[in-house]
């Protein structure tokens, strides 16, 4: 999609879907990797990479341990921002809005779609807490392997979230720093769109 097509777009999720499909083809690893920024109730921000697992009319979904730093911050301040950067395409997308927890059945279905090793790792990790040494984590995995030889139950703290976009900005690299930027802002059930200076 070139700048002309992006300029003509009227619906941001359709444009995002097109860009994501192009990123799947061009990016070597994890085109769905996104920087997720959260903040404490008093505004101290933190950012980390997560994998976006679904983008649709509901928003941008991801899964995590609710007892992790991001989970605790979302509990006290349910606003967040994301930034996708596709270096091979020289594009980025910035998204901000409210975050809501997904229904438990969504988290259940996704958790059990993962490999057994990933499920064990998710259960064994007390994410964001101090770890005395790697051997402690590896011992926890071995214990869980013995405890759950078949299905591994999803822990209650492992949940899904969806960022409900209020603002989505599309950025395309341009010569001599004359980049193209288009921002969509939600106005009720509709979107407004403006071009920004680079």
Distance CA 49, CA 63 (A): 12
Task: Give me the catalytic one of 48, 90, 177, 186.
Answer: 177
Widest distance between CA atoms in the chain: 60
Candidates 72, 81, 100; CA nearest to 157 is 72
Catalytic residue check, 177: yes
Active site residues: 177
């Amino acid at each position: 999609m070139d700048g002309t097509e992006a300029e003509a777009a009227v619906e941001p999720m359709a444009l995002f879907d097109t860009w994501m499909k192009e990123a799947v083809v061009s990016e070597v690893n994890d085109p769905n990797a996104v920087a997720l920024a959260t903040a404490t109730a008093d505004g101290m921000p933190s950012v980390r990479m997560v994998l976006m697992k679904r983008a649709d009319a509901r928003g941008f979904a991801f899964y995590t341990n609710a007892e992790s730093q991001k989970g605790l911050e979302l509990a006290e301040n349910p606003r967040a921002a994301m930034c996708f950067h596709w270096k091979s395409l020289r594009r980025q997308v910035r998204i901000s809005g409210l975050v809501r927890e997904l229904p438990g059945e969504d988290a259940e279905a996704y958790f059990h779609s993962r490999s057994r090793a990933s499920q064990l790792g998710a259960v064994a990790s007390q994410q964001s807490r101090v770890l005395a040494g790697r051997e402690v984590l590896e011992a926890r995995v071995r214990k869980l392997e013995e405890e759950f030889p078949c299905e591994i139950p999803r822990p209650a703290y492992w949940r899904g979230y969806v960022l409900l976009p209020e603002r989505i900005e599309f950025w395309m690299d341009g010569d001599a720093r004359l980049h193209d930027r288009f921002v969509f802002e939600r106005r009720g059930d509709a979107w407004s769109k403006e071009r920004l200076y680079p």
